[in-house]
Amino acid sequence: MTDDRCPLCRLDEASALWANEQCLVIPAEVAGLGTICRVIWRGHVREMGDLSTGERRALMDIVFAVETAVRDCARPAKMNLASLGNLVPHLHWHIIPRYQNDAYFPDAIWAAARRPGAHYPLSDERLRAALRAALGPPGKPRL
Ligand SMILES: [Zn+2]
């Protein structure tokens, strides 16, 4: 199920660091912070509760594996995991490495910046290798 008006339904799969039949892992840059990852459920559903039990488990297995991969690459002070979707109501998770000198710390990254903030970019190549180590090769179904 897709929605033509939804930006997450229209993502370019070529930008994914890892993908399978259910999810895409997409990097994003946040000013004053650096690289984060988003795990995006392919179907246009609004809430975790819209998934079957098996789908929820499969999604969270991927979210936690991406957390491990980003943590291994970034060596942050803390990891934040968030599923909001208030502006884009298509189920997705944000996997966010946090640093004591990022612009928002210790607030959520959607809060007002407290300082200019250091920027910690992660290379796509390094993230792809870490995701492959954590999740296996792209395209392998998780159910
Ligand atoms: Zn959508």
Dump strand ranges (E) for the chain.
Answer: 18-19, 23-30, 34-41, 78-82, 92-98
| Ion ligand 1, residues whose Cβ is below 5 A away | 3, 6, 8-9, 44, 90
Per-residue model confidence as pLDDT tens digits over 4-60: 899 999 998 889 999 999 999 999 999 999 999 999 999 999 999 999 999 999 999
How remote is the CA of residue 94 from the centroid of ligand 1, in Å?
A: 16
Contact 97, 76 (CB under 8 A): yes
Residue 56 is part of a domain; what is its CATH number? 3.30.428.10
Q: Is the pTM of this model over 0.85?
A: yes
| Span 73-78, average pLDDT | 97
Point out which residues pair with 41 in neighbouring strands.
23
Domain with 17, as residue range(s), is: 13-135
How remote is the CA of residue 22 from the centroid of ligand 1, in Å?
A: 13
How remote is the CA of residue 92 from the centroid of ligand 1, in Å?
A: 10
How remote is the CA of residue 9 from the centroid of ligand 1, in Å?
A: 4
How remote is the CA of residue 40 from the centroid of ligand 1, in Å?
A: 9
Is 26 inside any structural domain?
Answer: yes
Is 131 inside any structural domain?
Answer: yes
Task: Please check the confidence at residue 140 and state whether its pLDDT lies above 60.
Answer: no
Residue 97: predicted pLDDT: 98
How remote is the CA of residue 65 from the centroid of ligand 1, in Å?
A: 23
Residue 142: predicted pLDDT: 46
Query: For the chain, how many structural domains are there in total?
Result: 1
Is 1 inside any structural domain?
Answer: no
How remote is the CA of residue 44 from the centroid of ligand 1, in Å?
A: 4
Per-residue model confidence as pLDDT tens digits over 104-138: 999 999 999 999 999 999 999 999 999 999 999 88
Task: Please check the confidence at residue 94 and state whether its pLDDT lies above 80.
Answer: yes
| Span 52-71, average pLDDT | 97
Q: Is 32 left (phi over 0), alpha (psi -120 to 50) or beta?
A: left
| Span 86-94, average pLDDT | 96
